[in-house]
Amino acid sequence: MSTALPEQIEAIFQQVKARNPGEDEFHQAVKEVLESLGPVLVKYPEFSDQKIIERICEPERQIIFRVPWQDDRGEVHINRGFRVEFNSALGPYKGGLRFHPSVYLGIIKFLGFEQVFKNALTGMPIGGGKGGADFDPKGRSDSEIMRFCQSFMTELHRHLGEHTDVPAGDIGVGGREIGYLFGQYKRLTNRYESGVLTGKGIGWGGSLVRKEATGYGAVYFVREMLKVRKDSLDGKTCVVSGAGNVAIYTIEKLHEHGARVVACSDSHGVIIVEKGIDLDLVKQLKEVERRRIADYAGYRQGARYLAGGTIWEVPCQVAMPSATQNELNGRDARTLVRNGCIAIGEGANMPTTPEGIRVFLDAGIAYGPGKAANAGGVATSALEMQQNASRDSWSFEFTEQKLDSIMTGIHAATWETAEEFGAPGNYVIGANIAGFIRVARAMEALGLI
């Protein structure tokens, strides 16, 4: 992947930086996509004439709002809420909500921008958006979480709708939060509008497999990358960063494929288990009791805990970054390659720094970027919307089969696009170009809006 952008694209990137000062993660996400687009403009000059790239880099609408709430002691807190409605050429804005203290406009914009291309790759009728708040759910009681969600939705609801904007979860927003958000939306609008949020509970409009989908999908993507290399996951040693929803179901599916996951992590440290992680214990600690991964070592012999350590030093053949952005840098990437890693599947959004990506591509290993590899979550959200629209609910097997074929399709599309544009095996270029062309074609058809 070249880092020098052709002149015309470099000028657009400089403009994006100047118009969005201080938003480093957004700049990073835009640069990575723009670096892929040179050959597209040569092949399709009409995209330049219509300023498609400039338009794609500017969100259609950005909403920033105050979220006041009271904690259990009666103290008042003020958080900042966001929803960036990035692009609706292919369907209603679709993308998760992130509740994390690091959230600011630059993070929501990078996530929204990535979402546009990811959603296009799924082939489903969904545009791209993202939202969230700089609220820290850690250590908060259930009633505090409920009050926060209610306050957040009190403003957000006027911007949503099943045909307008359909949020879901992301870091810090899971089934519990979606429940409180949906309850407040229903109360404010007096409508049981199932299709307005995804990631709902089973029994009140949710879809089977949605919870598992991002992790399962990422493993299917890695399976496909290995398949073209005449290899498989069977018997592979893996590490999966994170211990949240994505990491847990990545581990589950890796185990089903005969792989052994020897490490996972949370924001405090890394747990290493040479004979393989006991996933039931991780689920109990993280999903049920909401505790730290460090506590794993207290329940199982042979588990080592590295406080504050980096997981990428644990030797593995397959690494699946499933925690957060920029969690894997150039040095980590070199360590992984040196230790014999042959495949990377990104469950998180933009977890590898630009230098890390270069290391992987130069080493010629199979590198599956997040916008392709983790698209299974949002794809299954679109399946949830489909079930809601037809007032139907599908079986686990049927839904999982659909997810599998969507992921296999994304792999094929990114692989073929990379070949077509002269970069065989480069899924970064394949994903960026394939996603971009789908959005660009729709924007072209819809006119200058």
Contact residues for ligand GLU, defined by CB under 6 A: 94-96, 168, 170, 198, 349, 377-378, 381
Q: Which is nearer to ligand GLU, 207 or 237 (CB)?
A: 207
For the bound state, the minimum distance from the C-beta of residue 115 to ligand GLU, rounded and expressed in Å, comes to 6
What is the rounded CA–CA span in Å between residue 200 and residue 332? 36
For the bound state, the minimum distance from the C-beta of residue 375 to ligand GLU, rounded and expressed in Å, comes to 7
Token pair for residue 256?
A: 């089903």
Which residue is closest to ligand GLU by CB?
A: 96
For the bound state, the minimum distance from the C-beta of residue 420 to ligand GLU, rounded and expressed in Å, comes to 26
Q: Which amino acid is at 378?
A: V
For the bound state, the minimum distance from the C-beta of residue 214 to ligand GLU, rounded and expressed in Å, comes to 6
Q: Which is nearer to ligand GLU, 5 or 168 (CB)?
A: 168
Q: Which is nearer to ligand GLU, 162 or 420 (CB)?
A: 162
Q: Which is nearer to ligand GLU, 224 or 346 (CB)?
A: 346
Q: Which is nearer to ligand GLU, 226 or 373 (CB)?
A: 373
Strand ranges across the sheet with 61-70: 61-70, 76-87, 128-133, 93-99, 165-169
- Verify whether residue 130 is a known catalytic residue: yes
Alpha-carbon torsion angle 369, 370, 373, 376, nearest 10: -160
The candidate with the shortest Cα–Cα distance to 271, out of 249, 286, 287, is 286
Alpha helices in 194-329 (DSSP H): 210-228, 245-256, 279-283
Residue 158 CA, chain-centre distance (Å), reads 25
What is the rounded CA–CA span in Å between residue 439 and residue 60? 14
Q: Which is nearer to ligand GLU, 39 or 201 (CB)?
A: 201
CB 16 within 8 A of CB 27: yes
Q: Tokens 């990575």 map to which residue?
A: 32
Token pair for residue 123?
A: 């082939």
For the bound state, the minimum distance from the C-beta of residue 286 to ligand GLU, rounded and expressed in Å, comes to 18
The candidate with the shortest Cα–Cα distance to 229, out of 404, 415, 357, 423, is 415
Token pair for residue 73?
A: 């002691």
Could you say which DSSP state residue 200 is in? P
What is the rounded CA–CA span in Å between residue 298 and residue 352? 31
Packing angle, helices 396-420 and 210-228, rounded to 10: 40
Catalytic member of 94, 109, 118, 130: 130
For the bound state, the minimum distance from the C-beta of residue 394 to ligand GLU, rounded and expressed in Å, comes to 17
Q: Which is nearer to ligand GLU, 265 or 381 (CB)?
A: 381
Q: Tokens 């899924």 map to which residue?
A: 427
For the bound state, the minimum distance from the C-beta of residue 227 to ligand GLU, rounded and expressed in Å, comes to 24
CB 237 within 8 A of CB 287: no
Alpha helices in 229-373 (DSSP H): 245-256, 279-283, 330-338, 354-363, 370-373
Residues marked active site are found at 130
